Amino acid sequence: MASATNNPSTAQSGVPTPEETQLRESLKRCSPAVVEAAVRYRATKDVQLVPTVVLGIIERFLEPGAAERLRHADDDVRVIEDLGLDSLTLMEAVILIEEVVQISINNDELRSLRTVGDIKVFIDHKVRGLPPPQPSKYLPLEQVAAVMPQQPPFLFVREATLSSAWATGTYTITGDETFLAGHFKDNPIFPASIMLEALGQLAVLYLLEAPSSQLGAPVDPKTIFFTGAEGVRCHRVCRPGDVLKLSVKPKRLRMPLATFEGHIRVGQERAAVAEEVSLTFGFLVEAPKSAEPAPQAASTPPAS
């Protein structure tokens, strides 16, 4: 009887409605907490329940190891690359989310949902009736190198995904980095200072390419310089073969200073944290247009 009182859909009679019965059937492979959140959402339209429902539905389609990771995931975890969902299974999850949350997601919108954060923000906008958020942007190595002032062999971001609120990237320690020959002899360890450099480079990329209007003007890559870091801690030794998963989030953006918090993981292990990485920057100044040339007087034809 107590559960019927707490459940708005059955509070009057204590008997589930046909709609609730169908909803519970659709979610029968989800956890009880997810089912109850979905039932309450249908009855109350409380948007605070939506993340529990959406992530619970995604978890239902994951392998056990990936499901455990999702429960502790940051918003930058990628649904396909990191959680192992293929495009067909992701479509199944989206169809179930549409049915349960009673929204519609078209294929163009689906293609822009690469990370857990993308999905959470997008669906939150949908259920609130807000315009869809600007999608995150993926940059492969070629595009990263095309815009960055740092270049190989001193470029430590090999791919990146950027949104208005964060940036993520990866760097694989190959073992061929020249500095590893001396750091250390017969025991190559990726330097902590280079890990901090990688976070700084990802922050540079955010300033140059993030889909955000916070800055109000394009940043000149020639004006971006590292100014400091605070609260830096290393938690794990990194060696050749490790894939560094980098993430930064802006804390303060006001020309000429940008401050970010940064994290590095290897798999699910924390490798390094920087509470603040600070950069100085300036806006791109367009070159003044040259004056229009004065019109030339018509030449006088030679006398015949």
| H helix and E strand count, the chain | 10, 7
Matching residue, tokens 């995931």 = 73
How far from 81 is each of 10, 91, 294, CA to CA, in Å?
41, 15, 60
| Residues annotated as part of the active site | 183
Using N-to-C axis directions, what is the helix angle for 50-60 and 116-128, rounded to 10°? 130
DSSP E strand stretches across the chain: 137-139, 159-162, 167-172, 225-234, 243-254, 257-266, 269-280
Cα–Cα dist 204/148, whole Å: 8
Nearest alpha carbon to residue 107 among 99, 98, 120, 116: 98
Q: How far apart are the C-alpha atoms of 286 and 271, rounded to whole Å? A: 41
Reference 198, options 266, 268, 262, 282; nearest CA is: 262
Interatomic CA distance for residues 52 and 47, integer angstroms: 10
C-alpha–C-alpha distance, residues 38 and 51, integer Å: 10
